[in-house]
Each structure stands twice: as structure tokens, then as C-alpha cells.
Amino acid sequence: MEKVALLKCTDYDVDAIEKKLREGFELLGGTAFLRSLIPANSRVLLKPNFLTVIEKGSPVITHYAVFEAVVRIVKEYTDNIAFGDSPGSGDTRKAAEKSGLMEVADRYGVKFADFNDEVHVELDKPLMYKFWNVARAAYEADVVITLPKLKTHAMMYYTGAVKNQFGCVPGSKKGEWHTKLPDAVNFSKMLLDLNSVVKTSFAILDGIVAMEGNGPRNGTPRKMDTIIMGKSLTAVDSTAVRLIGYDNVMAVPLLEVAHDTGWGAVLPEEIEVLGEKIEDMRCEGFKLSRSAKVVNFITPSLNKLAASLTAPDPVVNAEKCISCRKCNEVCPERPKVISFVNRNGKVVPKWNYRNCIRCFCCQELCPVGAIETRDKKLSRMLGIIK
Ligand code: SF4
Ligand code: SF4
């Protein structure tokens, strides 16, 4: 039975968060637990979620107050702490500075890790991929602690602890994975393999202010007053999705794959929730990204066809669009799926849906939230979405 601590924390006051985290560690086993999690003088890597260069305090990224509270606790066990991420776009150092994490890191002597320095690794018994290039700082750390945000995700429905580790894939290689794996099931297998390569010891999920709707970047902030902590990343994610409305956690592709492959604890009966009760912390009316069943075939071309027939389409909200062309820049598909057209005097993107793999990188990284998702009538008719 995996244990997670479910905590209520109502704002981003660093002292209050630190107090809550200490309560969480106490529930999980106190000082003995922390000593075994962080052996004296071990190399600890903190893995926040930057996504791109975004203003500090934004609900898109790991909050600097959560980061500071974690650093205060970890520093009692080791001085050898680094932090890093490889965002979906933009310069990592700038992302770290803008997020406010760099300032906290400088104050506490936490080193900035360059995730562009990569290492080639071979994985024993993969679900899908044996050979990997991952950030050396994450791979070589003794202890990796992931610090995800609780958000919706257009492709994966939800993003939390397991998905946050996708940032351990350096730079543009993330786009290559999207191109290779356009469907949520195979993408989930890849994420789980990645999490077998970069072994993460602990997750602290920031859901104090989460994101609903058009996430993971352009959704609506939703106050949930929630922190979830635990050693099992799938148990933390499973607990999170129960809070936002997935009564059946297997409706989330990543969790279904994790369960079916025996990768980690997913079902409620496999997870002991300590601290607050799930019923008391549920976020009623949380706007999910979508609730589609997974359509998955053996061959990539059939998956692409299935995606084009059933997955939602990215569409532009022309009023919001600032014609920056970032969507085209981040699209991993070749030839490019997006062209630009003039609509009422404004240049806006137009999609070739036949070639679009529905990875939603464009939606994720549009700087002004001008890309939304539109469900297909066919999916509704077939009962693929509710
Ligand atoms: S949709 Fe977004 S990313 Fe694309 S051109 Fe418009 S503002 Fe830029
Ligand atoms: S257009 Fe958007 S959703 Fe389609 S393949 Fe490109 S980035 Fe992915």
C-alpha cells in the first residue's frame, strides 16, 4: 500500500507552506522517513515545472514559495541541492529567473542545473523505449524531488507528478517524442519509461492554486488549497485526479497504462491517503480538459487517422491572437501543419487537420491563450467523449 499525504494549505505564504510540508512528512514517518529519503550530504535535484518563460506567481509554474519551503526542509539534510528543468520553449535560465526560483536558489545556495547537458542511457525492460537521452543532472542525482503543478492538459487530460518529469528530456527532443507518439497511450508508456530512467524519490504537488479548463498554460486558475506529497508519483497523481472529478481514475490514460503495466499504484484501494479526507478536499465543478476514452491502434498511421477523426481540434480565438507565429515555431510535425491566413485584417493560424497529430504543443505554448480545443461531433456520437 502506497501512502500519500493530503494537506490543506490556503495561500502561498512560505512559512505556512513549510509548516504544512512538515506535517506531511510527519504523517509519512517523520524524521526517520526524511533521513531515509535524503541521506546525509546526498545530491538532491529539485525538478519544478517551468513550461516556458513565465512571470513569478503564475499558476502555470511551480510557485516560488513552495520551492522555498521545500528548500528549507531539504537543507536540513544536505547542502548539495540543485534545481533544473527543460521548458517546452524559451531559455531555461530566463525561465528560472522570471519564475522567482533563481532568486530563492541564490539566497539558499541552491545550484542551477543546466538540463541541456545530457547523458545517453539504456533502460532494462522498458515498456516501449530502451535508449534515452536525459538531463545528466537529473539522472546522476542521488535524490530527485519533483515539484509539479496540478493542471489540466489537452493531450493527457491531466498533468502532475509523472508528466512533470518530461522536462528531464532536453530541449527540442521533447518535440520529437510528440511526433513519434501522437496518441495518449503510447505517450504514457514513454513517460513511464522516462520515469524508470530518471528515478524520482518523492513528489510534492502544488494544487494550492491549480488550473482548470484550457490547461496546461492557458486555462483558468482554480483555488484548491491542496498539497499532495508521496513517494509514488502515480499514487500522488491518482489522488489528485480524484479531487478534480475523475471518480474512475482509469479514465486518465497515463493512470490506466500505469495500472495495466503494473508500473505503480493507481487504484484507490492501493493508496492510503493520510491527513485530509478526499471527500473534504474535492473540488466540485472543476472544469476538466476533456474526458475522452483512449483510441489506440497498433500502427502510427492508424493512430494518426484515429486522432484526426476523434480527438479535439486546435482552433484559434482570433480576437486573442497577436499573430506572433509561436504556434508554428513549436509544432513538431514536418511538414508544418500550421499556415497563416488573413482574417479581417489580422494574420491568424490555420491548421491542416489531416496532418495534425493533436499533441497540442501549439495550444500549450501560445503566449496569450489564443488556441482552444474543439471537440468532434463524431466523438460525441460514438460516446468517445461525454
Ligand atoms: S495563435 Fe497564439 S501562438 Fe499562434 S500566432 Fe496567434 S498568438 Fe501567436
Ligand atoms: S498543429 Fe498543434 S496540435 Fe497539431 S501537431 Fe502541430 S503543435 Fe501539435
Residue 34 has pLDDT above 90, yes or no: yes
Query: Which residue is associated with the grid cell 500502427?
Result: 299
Residue 201 has pLDDT above 50, yes or no: yes
More confident residue, 193 or 333: 193
Q: What is the pLDDT of residues 231-276, one digit of tens each?
A: 999 999 999 999 999 999 999 999 999 999 999 999 999 999 999 9
Q: What is the pLDDT of residues 93-122, one digit of tens each?
A: 999 999 999 999 999 999 999 999 999 999
pLDDT value at position 89? 75
CA distance 379 to 69: 44
Instruction: Calculate how far, in angstroms, residue 174's C-alpha sits from the geometric centre of ligand 2.
Output: 13
CA distance 181 to 203: 26
Which whole number is the average pLDDT over 320-326?
Answer: 95
Q: Please choose from 183, 337, 363, 366 the residue to mutate so as to test ligand 2's pocket, defined by most ligand atoms within 8 A of CB.
A: 337
Which whole number is the average pLDDT over 303-328?
Answer: 85
pLDDT value at position 293? 46
pLDDT value at position 386? 45
Q: Which atom of ligand 2 is nearest to the CA of 363?
A: 2
Instruction: Calculate how far, in angstroms, residue 331's C-alpha sits from the geometric centre of ligand 1.
Output: 12
pLDDT value at position 300? 57
311 lines ligand 2 (CB under 6 A): no
Residue 51 has pLDDT above 80, yes or no: no
Report which residue type is found at 194: L
pLDDT value at position 306? 66
327 lines ligand 1 (CB under 6 A): yes
Q: What is the mean pLDDT of the chain?
A: 91
Question: What 3-state DSSP class applies to 155?
Answer: coil
pLDDT value at position 214? 85
Residue owning the nearest CA to atom 6 of ligand 2: 331
Residue 368 has pLDDT above 60, yes or no: yes
pLDDT value at position 90? 76
Cis peptide before 216 (omega within 30 of 0): yes
Q: At what angle do helices 64-74 and 101-108 cross, to 10 degrees?
A: 20
Q: Which atom of ligand 1 is nearest to the CA of 340?
A: 5
Residue 50 has pLDDT above 80, yes or no: yes
Query: Is the CATH number 3.90.1150.10 carried by domain 300-382?
Result: no
Euclidean distance between the first and the last CA atom of the chain, given in angstroms as a whole number: 32
Q: What is the pLDDT of residues 137-146, one digit of tens each?
A: 999 999 999 9
Tell me the domain boundaries of the chain. Answer: 2-281, 300-382
149: part of which helix (H) or strand (E)? Answer: strand 149-153
More confident residue, 125 or 308: 125
CA distance 172 to 152: 23
pLDDT value at position 375? 79
Which whole number is the average pLDDT over 31-39?
Answer: 97
155 lines ligand 2 (CB under 6 A): no
Residue 292 has pLDDT above 50, yes or no: no
Instruction: Calculate how far, in angstroms, residue 152's C-alpha sits from the geometric centre of ligand 1.
Output: 20
Which whole number is the average pLDDT over 175-186?
Answer: 84
pLDDT value at position 371? 93
Which whole number is the average pLDDT over 294-309?
Answer: 59
Cα 121 vs. chain centroid, distance in angstroms?
22
pLDDT value at position 92? 87
CA distance 191 to 189: 5
Instruction: Calculate how far, in angstroms, residue 91's C-alpha sits from the geometric centre of ligand 1.
Output: 19
CATH architecture of 2-281: 3-Layer(aba) Sandwich (3.40)
338 lines ligand 2 (CB under 6 A): yes
H, E, C per residue of 190-215: HHHHHHHHCCCCEEEEEEEEEEECCC
